[in-house]
A = this chain, B = another copy of it.
Amino acid sequence: MDDVSRPSAFRFLKLTIGYDGTAFAGWQEQPGLRTVQNELASAWRRITGETPRLTASGRTDAGVHALGQVVSLCTSSERPEGELARGLNAVLPEDIVVLAIDPAVQGFHATHDALSKTYRYQIHDSRTPPLFDRRYVWHVRQPLDIERMGRAGGGLIGRHDFVSFQTAGSQRTSTVRTILAVEVTRLASRVDITVTGDGFLYNMVRAIAGTLVEVGRGARDPEWVAEALSARDRAAAGPNAPALGLVLVSVRYAQGSDE
C-alpha cells in the first residue's frame, strides 16, 4: 500500500488492457450495470486506496471485446508499474486482464492523444457452428469470398464522410474520418476483417463488417461499397454486424506514449 503520510508527485500511466466483452455492458461506467470501467476502478481502489479517474481510448459497446484497449490515469502511487499490473490482475475478474502498465508523458490522455486505432471483426463462415471461439465470432452460414471482401474494403480507404456507416444518435460534429487500412484474411473457417483508422463513428466497424459480408456472400458486388459510401445515407450500406465479433486490437499514440 502507498505511504499516504509522505507527499508524492502525481504521475501519468498508460494501461493496456484486454477484456472479454461478453458479460459487460461496455466500457463506460453506468449505475447498476457491470462495466469494464467500474471493475477496473474498483480494482485500482483495492490495491492503491485511490479512486482513479480512468480514461479509455474510446468507449466500447456492450459485448465488444478488447485485446489492446488503452486507459490513461494519473496517480500518486509510487509502486513500480509491473507490481501494479500484477496487483490488478490478482484482484480483477477473469474477464479483464492488464497486459501492460507503462509510464506516460505528463498530461497523457488516452482519448485525445490517440493517433489511430485498429479493430478486428471476427467471423466464422461455416454451416458447422463455432465451438471454442463461439463467444468471439459472428457465425455466418454462407461461405465468404475474402478476395471480393478485400476489394470492397479497399473502396473505403482514405479520407471520406462515413455517415453511411454510422448509427445515428451520436453527438460527433464531423462524420469525416480517415481509414488507413482494411484487410480481410482467412484461417480455416475464421475470417477476420482488420480495419485501421484515425477514428471511428458510432458502430462504424460493425457497419463495415456487415457491408463486407453482403459482398462476401455474393449478395452485392464489391463496387457497391464505394457507392454506399458516396450515398451518405445509412440505408445505402449493409446492416451492422453483431457486437460479439468485434475486438479493439490496438491504439497508436505519438512518440513518448507509443505502444
Interface residues of A (CB under 8 A from B): 18-20, 65, 67, 85-86, 89, 94-95, 97-99, 127-134, 136
Complex A-B, nearest 4 residue pairs according to Cβ-Cβ distance, in ascending order: A18-B131, A97-B131, A97-B129, A89-B129
Q: How far is the CA of A237 from the CA of B177 in the complex (A)?
A: 60
Residues of B within 8 A of A86 (CB): 127
Contact across chains for A97 and B128 when beta carbons are under 8 A apart: yes
A121 to chain B, nearest CB (A): 15
Contact across chains for A132 and B128 when beta carbons are under 8 A apart: no
Nearest residue in B to A19 (C-beta to C-beta)?
B131
Partner of A20 from the list B20, B127, B131 (CB cut-off 8 Å) is B131
Contact across chains for A132 and B20 when beta carbons are under 8 A apart: yes
A250 to chain B, nearest CB (A): 15
Contact across chains for B134 and A94 when beta carbons are under 8 A apart: yes
Most interface-central of A20, A97, A99, A131 (chain B CB within 10 A): A131
Residues of B within 8 A of A19 (CB): 131
Residues of B within 8 A of A132 (CB): 18, 20, 65, 133, 136
A28 to chain B, nearest CB (A): 20
Residues of B within 8 A of A134 (CB): 94
Contact across chains for A94 and B129 when beta carbons are under 8 A apart: yes
Given A94-B134, A134-B94; A128-B20 close (CB under 8 Å) = no
A137 to chain B, nearest CB (A): 11
Q: How far is the CA of A67 from the CA of B189 in the complex (A)?
A: 14
Q: How far is the CA of A133 from the CA of B89 in the complex (A)?
A: 16
Contact across chains for A128 and B89 when beta carbons are under 8 A apart: yes
Nearest residue in B to A133 (C-beta to C-beta)?
B132
Q: How far is the CA of A95 from the CA of B131 in the complex (A)?
A: 6
Q: How far is the CA of A132 from the CA of B20 in the complex (A)?
A: 6
Q: How far is the CA of A136 from the CA of B134 in the complex (A)?
A: 13
Q: How far is the CA of A246 from the CA of B94 in the complex (A)?
A: 20
Q: How far is the CA of A86 from the CA of B141 in the complex (A)?
A: 11
Q: How far is the CA of A127 from the CA of B82 in the complex (A)?
A: 10
Nearest residue in B to A85 (C-beta to C-beta)?
B128
Q: Can you list 11 pairs linking A and B with CB atoms under 8 Å apart?
A: A19-B131, A20-B131, A67-B131, A86-B127, A89-B128, A89-B129, A94-B134, A95-B131, A97-B130, A97-B131, A98-B128
Q: How far is the CA of A95 from the CA of B133 in the complex (A)?
A: 10
Residues of B within 8 A of A97 (CB): 128-131
A15 to chain B, nearest CB (A): 12
